[in-house]
Chain A
Amino acid sequence: MSIFTTESPFESNDEHRLAAFDLSSIIFHDGLRRGASRASNRSTWALESSAGTDIYHDSIEDLHRLLKPSGWRLVFVDGQPRLVHPGGKLSFTVSSGINVGSANMRTPRTRKKGAATRNSLAAIDLSPSLFGDKEAETAAHSAEVAESAPFYLLLCERVTRGSNGLALEFSRPAGMAEGGSVNQWRDRIAVAYLSIEGDIETFGKPDNGDDEFDVTVEPR
């Protein structure tokens, strides 16, 4: 069931709020563009889940690549990959959703989520580290930070009517429906719409020119 809001949940300074986390719409767009493009090349012969898988796998990879130089770490929590802020301000992962984005007054909802997200919404009792060496300790520390830091979802919804692209928002889950989908949020930050319609380099002038074929005609 959709929950309606009469006022926009987003704020005019959302880009500043992202900046406070050392993030931005541009970073998200750069991380999501490849997967979104690949998803947009899927024909209806592909599995129904292929487009979502493209976005998920490519964006985790590309966001990791983009954020790693700034000290972000990729950590797995109950099998869920999360990017953890170098200062422990937050962790996040990518998730598909519906009713995503500022143009929609409905509350977004994810598909059924697994243990990692469920545990993040519950009170967390951290288990002691099983690792002894320094690297393992660091990994364990990152995992602890990932579990203890505020957990956000980079919500993506494919838009295939009108301007082809992704509706986005960066939101912190607050509660789940009985079926396991996240449908309550304690913080929602708007992320600019990612249009892949504007990606028209593929329609640039071909390099073969207008007249590459010579028809040889010689007087006898």
Chain B
Amino acid sequence: MFNPSRLRLARLRLGLSLTKLASESKVSLRSLTEYENAKREPSDDSLRKLADRLRVPASFFEREPIDPIPVAAASFRKLSKATIGRRDAVLASALLTLEFFDEVEQRFKLPTPNIPTLDKLSAEEAAELVRNRWNLGDRPISNMLHLLESKGVRVAALNHEYGDIDAFCFYRDAVPYLFLNTSKSAERQRFDAAHELGHLVLHSEVDMEISTSKEREAEANAFASNFLMPAGAVLNQLMASASIERILKARSFWKVSAMALTHRLHELNLLSPWQYRSTCMTLSERGYRSAEPGGLVPETSQLLRKVVYGSGASLKVREAAAALDVEPDEVRSYMRYLVPVSA
């Protein structure tokens, strides 16, 4: 039986307006509106046209309805009006990714979520407490994704077409989900992952209203900075008035971007405002603002690797795609750059 919410979901995930879908699928706007509003069901011919354009099998429209992810449940930085459509597309893709993880969970026992809620603490205190609870000491985090996955966070890639969205996270049925833009540099992804962990720790009990996003984003950034570069350790590394070369050595040690480390040194008053500005300018001239020369190889997902390539049972991409009524490429996009997928 045709399910209108599935049509809307398939359309939104590609960032298509009703008008655009109508024009590209050769199904009239009026009909499309009526299909989505459950006024009537599409003919087989219309269904086929829509399925072709939306890159799903027709059976996708007959699947069970699924609750959308409320915008207020996910952490987004303040977005421009033009970006709101892309945000909706990303959330629609994320909703399909949840179905993928449901499929994974039916076949595998995954780590139980264990993310503390510390919404009464400052970002700095919360970062220190999480490090303590997880016995991380003040060492660099060797692998942010594996750490989060081991604590029950399900990590997936967000649609790369939306480069202005770095990452977001939310809880669904008490399970934390993190969506990362895996086309960014390794250091950027690590910071984004720590930033989203900050949201999970500090803001899981509050609605992510866009009007108050600025404060939340600042808190999540402070959490990430403290979590990845703990003050006690950085203050013991001869970083006062540090030269560019020393900053580059230290950023490799902490596995963060040179810019993030420079900002941290300024936060910790190890660089004066003048030194901070001149260091940023030099780094920018050397290409460290838009990229991370000599940086790390991006982290990958241990969980998805074990699921897809496990020595015992495994879940092949084609099997998952068939179970979810989507194309294999759709499933591959959930794991893009997180695990090599050709299966």
B249 at interface by CB-CB < 8 Å: yes
Interface set, chain B 232-251, CB cutoff 8 A to A: 235-243, 245-246, 249-250
Q: Knowing A209-B142, A213-B150, A215-B306 touch, does A43 contact B240 (C-beta < 8 A)?
A: yes
User: Interface extent on B, as a size class?
Assistant: 35 or more
CB distance B246 to A206 under 8 Å? no
Q: How far is the CB of B319 from chain A (nearest CB, A)?
A: 14
CB distance B142 to A197 under 8 Å? no
B284 at interface by CB-CB < 8 Å: no
CA distance A197 to B249 in the complex (A): 11
Q: How far is the CB of B102 from chain A (nearest CB, A)?
A: 13
CB distance B241 to A215 under 8 Å? no
CB distance B142 to A213 under 8 Å? yes
Contacts of B146 in A (CB 8 A): 211, 213-215
A12 at interface by CB-CB < 8 Å: no
Interface set, chain A 27-78, CB cutoff 8 A to B: 37, 39-45, 51
Q: How far is the CB of A8 from chain B (nearest CB, A)?
A: 26
Max chain B Cβ within 10 angstroms of own Cβ: one of A39, A200, A209, A215: A215
B162 at interface by CB-CB < 8 Å: no
Chain B interface SS verdict (over half) = loop
CB distance A206 to B140 under 8 Å? yes
Max chain B Cβ within 10 angstroms of own Cβ: one of A206, A214, A217: A217
Partner of A214, one of B107, B150, B269, B312: B150
Chain B interface (Cβ < 8 Å from any Cβ of A): 106-111, 139-140, 142-143, 146-147, 149-150, 235-243, 245-246, 249-250, 252-253, 268-270, 272, 302-303, 306-307, 310, 312-313
Interface pairs A-B: 8 shortest CB-CB:
A160-B241, A43-B269, A219-B313, A213-B146, A217-B306, A44-B269, A215-B302, A203-B253
Q: Can you list 25 A-B contacts with CB-CB less than 8 angstroms, sorted by A residue number? A: A40-B239, A41-B235, A41-B237, A41-B238, A41-B239, A45-B269, A160-B240, A161-B241, A162-B243, A164-B243, A164-B246, A203-B253, A206-B142, A206-B253, A209-B142, A210-B143, A213-B302, A215-B111, A217-B310, A218-B109, A219-B108, A219-B312, A220-B107, A220-B108, A220-B109
